[in-house]
C-alpha cells in the first residue's frame, strides 16, 4: 500500500475547543501509519505553541502529542500572520515553518489527501 502525502490543516482555537487537540492526535496517528504528513496551523490553532497550552482544553494531551511529533522530526507549518512576537512561543517545540495563504494553496495542490479541521 503506497504512502500518501497527507495535509492536515488545523484552524480551531485550542483555548476553547477540544477539536484542535483531536486534530493533532489524528495527524500523529496518520504519521504513525508511515505516511508523509504535513501539519498546517492557521489562525488560533497556532496557540498550541503558547506557553499556556497546558491550561487549554485537553492541553496536557496536546503537549504530549507535540512532544512526540517533535521526536519524530515532524515540522509544523504555521500561518505567518498569526505568529506572535513572543520569545516564549514555541520555546522548546518542533521546527516551525512560517507560511502565507499562498504557500498553503501550494501545499494543498501537492497533497494526495487534505483533512481540514
Partner 1 sequence: MSSLHATSDLKGRKLGILLSTPPDHPNLETCLGLSREALSRGADVYLYMIDDGVRNIDDDRILELGRHGAKLFVCAYGCQRRRLPITEKATYCGLVVLTDLINGCERFVALN
8 A C-beta contact, residue 104 and residue 40? yes
Burial class (CB in 10 A: 0-12, 13-18, 19+), 7: buried
Q: How far is the CB of 109 from partner 1 (least distance, A)?
A: 17
Report the residue number, 91 or 109, with the smaller CB distance to partner 1.
109
For residues 20 to 39, the per-residue mask of contacts with partner 1, x marking binding by CB under 8 A and - elsewhere, is --xx-xx-xxx-xx-x----
Q: Does 99 bind partner 1 (CB under 8 A)?
A: no
* 113 is a contact residue toward partner 1 (CB under 8 A): yes
Query: Rounded to the nearest 5°, which phi and psi values hold at 114?
Result: -130, 120
CB 107 within 8 A of CB 40: yes
Give contact residues for partner 1 (rule: CB under 8 A): 1-4, 6, 18-19, 22-23, 25-26, 28-30, 32-33, 35, 113-117
Amino acid at each position: 500500500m503506497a504512502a500518501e502525502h497527507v495535509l492536515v490543516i488545523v484552524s480551531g482555537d485550542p483555548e476553547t475547543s477540544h477539536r484542535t487537540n483531536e486534530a493533532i492526535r489524528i495527524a500523529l496517528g496518520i504519521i504513525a501509519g508511515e505516511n508523509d504528513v504535513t501539519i498546517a496551523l492557521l489562525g488560533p490553532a497556532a496557540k498550541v505553541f503558547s506557553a499556556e497550552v497546558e491550561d487549554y482544553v485537553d492541553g496536557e494531551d496536546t503537549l504530549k502529542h507535540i512532544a512526540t511529533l517533535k521526536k519524530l522530526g515532524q515540522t509544523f507549518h504555521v500561518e505567518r500572520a498569526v505568529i506572535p512576537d513572543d520569545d516564549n512561543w514555541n520555546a522548546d517545540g518542533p521546527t516551525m515553518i512560517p507560511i502565507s495563504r499562498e504557500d498553503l494553496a501550494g501545499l494543498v495542490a501537492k497533497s494526495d489527501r487534505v483533512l481540514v479541521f
